[in-house]
A and B are shown apart, each in its own frame.
Chain A
Amino acid sequence: MTTHWRATRPKDSHWREVSCREAGCAQYIGGWQTVLSASDTANIEYIRRSGMRYKEEYDDRYLIRFVFEPGQECFEGRAGGHRTLIERDPVLKRDSQVMEPMEWLDRMNDDLYQIRARQ
């Protein structure tokens, strides 16, 4: 007999996408390097067509190093990967039943006190 108590913050309702600048992204602040195999033409062409500011260096015949300047959205930021929490109560569930925060806290505490009393 197991009761599950869940507090969830779904991606769609409790988080929002933010830019690299707002997220304080280290790559935005300090720039970054991406090293690719010279045969990785798809990604190399993507970078060359991206309009980003970078320098291209050849480590050897097989590797290309792209050195990106600071102040640009990184690849994660461009893909919407930086998120920040919206200040909002989590969705609270007892098993599959959604509850208001105070009801959920009371019910969980009743349960925990009962378990404690039996210890």
Chain B
Amino acid sequence: MAKESGLGMSVAVDDSAGTARTISNDITNLDWATPREEQDITGLDKSARERLLTLADFSVTLNGVFNDASNMSHAVFATVPSTSVARTVTITISGQVLACEAFFSDYALSRSSSGELTWSAPGALSGGAVPTWA
């Protein structure tokens, strides 16, 4: 099968030493969540709920296929349990770039019954500034 047109997706994540490693070839899924907290401010005089949107958050979960080649996903995330560093995650889709600083809290490996070895790495915004595509 020949290569098909399209700009694809590129993903780079810092290793624990702060060096960006392009691990696109290991990534199968990316999931961003943008939850917004709500504060209930309903007064006694109201007959329906009154709310305010308060703190916002931004989290990213990377999913991929296990790869223990040098500077690929296993080398990047194997240090998640033993280090406490914010890592820059840079994602490029169709020429647009989203870069954020995130703390990764897990590197969960999973082997399916069919023998596939995959991983999941959830990260949460560390710097207090929600990133935007640029």
Interface residues of A (CB under 8 A from B): 1-11, 16, 79, 81, 83-90, 92, 101-102, 105, 108-109, 111-113, 115-116, 118-119
Contacts and interface: CB of A to CB of B under 8 A. Distances in A.
B108 interface: no
Nearest to B11: A7
The 7 closest A-B CB pairs, nearest first, are A2-B35, A115-B56, A88-B6, A5-B32, A7-B30, A89-B6, A101-B94
Contacts of B29: 6-9
Nearest to A6: B31
B68 to A, nearest CB: 10
B26 to A, nearest CB: 10
A90 B4 contact: no
A112 B8 CA distance: 22
Contacts of B129: 116, 119
A3 B25 CA distance: 26
Contacts of A92: 93
Main secondary structure of the interface of A (DSSP, over half): mixed
Contacts, number: 102
Interface residues of B, number: 37
Given A9-B27, A90-B9, A111 B93 contact: no
A40 B41 CA distance: 67
B33 interface: yes
Contacts of A101: 7, 93-94
A28 B24 CA distance: 23
Contacts of A84: 25
A2 B34 contact: yes
Contacts of A86: 1, 3-4
Contacts of A9: 9, 27-29
B33 A2 contact: yes
A108 B34 CA distance: 10
Interface in B50-73: 53, 56, 58, 65
A118 B56 CA distance: 8
Contacts of A16: 1
A89 B94 contact: yes
A1 B115 contact: no
A79 B115 contact: yes
6 contacts: A3-B35, A7-B9, A7-B93, A111-B34, A112-B130, A119-B130
